[in-house]
Amino acid sequence: MKFLVLPADGIGPEIVDAALTVLRAADRRHALGLSFEFDDVGFTSLKQHGTTLRAETLERAKTFDGVILGTQSHADYPAPEQGGRNVSAGFRIGLDLYANVRPARTRPFLESNLKPGRTMDLVIMREATEGFYPDRNMTRGWGEVMPSPDMALSTRKITRHCSERIARRAFELAMKRRKKVTAIHKANSFHMTDGLFLECVRHVAKDFPEVALDDLLVDASTAHLVRNPERFDVLVATNFYGDILSDLASELSGSLGLAGSMMASDTHCCAQAQHGSAPDLQGQDKANPVSMILSVAMLVDWVGQKRARPEYEQAAAAMQRAVDAVLADRAGRTADLGGTLGCKAFGARVAAALATA
């Protein structure tokens, strides 16, 4: 199996390196037969090629079994016409990575930001190729315009095709978990767009009679996440809602740095940490690589399921257990979690835990 590695910006190279340390340990332990090739995206690519994401990089990525993508400093990129292309969006559209899968769970040995006694174990299934994102709404052009300096308009696109396929992935995942799906919407205000999304979810639900379906307004769902997160199993949402709710859920569970994330189509998958590039920590060995390590574990598990390779699924589970084993020891944490380890040392400790488990 071949993985394409794109370290990208900020702390991206550091957390990707730590994740690769763990992945190589998993490779040795489970005989995965992995190979890696590296390329540039983000500011390094902009400096060398005049764009943060080259078309040939996207085409090349299609030939790999998986992609490992580091964090990007999108907010600091120049305008798109000056080469500042959104890398994540480019991959989501270019490889049709429509399912952004974002789990969030509490751990009994780590302090969460929930009320005492509350626990969380959920997955947000976020549609990632349309919705309230102007770079994903048009075949050509941009989904936002300014008719005058004092007026800005944005176009939202919701389709039956994209809504039904993300709903189907959510129900399939729920069948492997606690068999409950919650559809997140604002159909009382967005009658047509969220109404179509909700219609599609309900249509797909008919194929999964064992799964309980309910729905919540997006504003109400934030309150329930804070007050009663145990009610949730799999949440399915359009792009914008899923983006916001996944950050909230991860932070409530303990930290945005503790949650993995993957982007997947039916044929391609990309591991990407859920947090940003943290340029203020760049090059200081202070970053927490847990999200990147768990994202890579999700990629490995996806490959195992798609290619019918049980050793990959076993390796992914072992990576997740090794992360928890290290986090359970306060001395084995990075500074943001009250420990003293640097990014590189944390990766090495997780690799060691995996090798001896």
Q: Which residues are catalytic?
A: 133, 186, 219, 243, 247
45 SS3 class: helix
Rounded to an integer, what distance in angstroms lies between the CA atom of residue 265 and that of residue 309?
18
* Residue of 289, 266, 253, 319 lying closest to 103 (CA atoms): 253
User: Is the Cα torsion angle 195, 201, 206, 210 positive or negative in sign?
Assistant: negative
Place of tokens 């329930």: 224
Helical H segments across the chain, by residue range? 12-30, 43-49, 55-61, 87-94, 160-176, 193-205, 218-227, 239-253, 290-306, 310-327, 343-356
CB 42 within 8 A of CB 5: no
3-state secondary structure of 310: helix
Name the strand (E) or helix (H) holding 146: strand 144-148
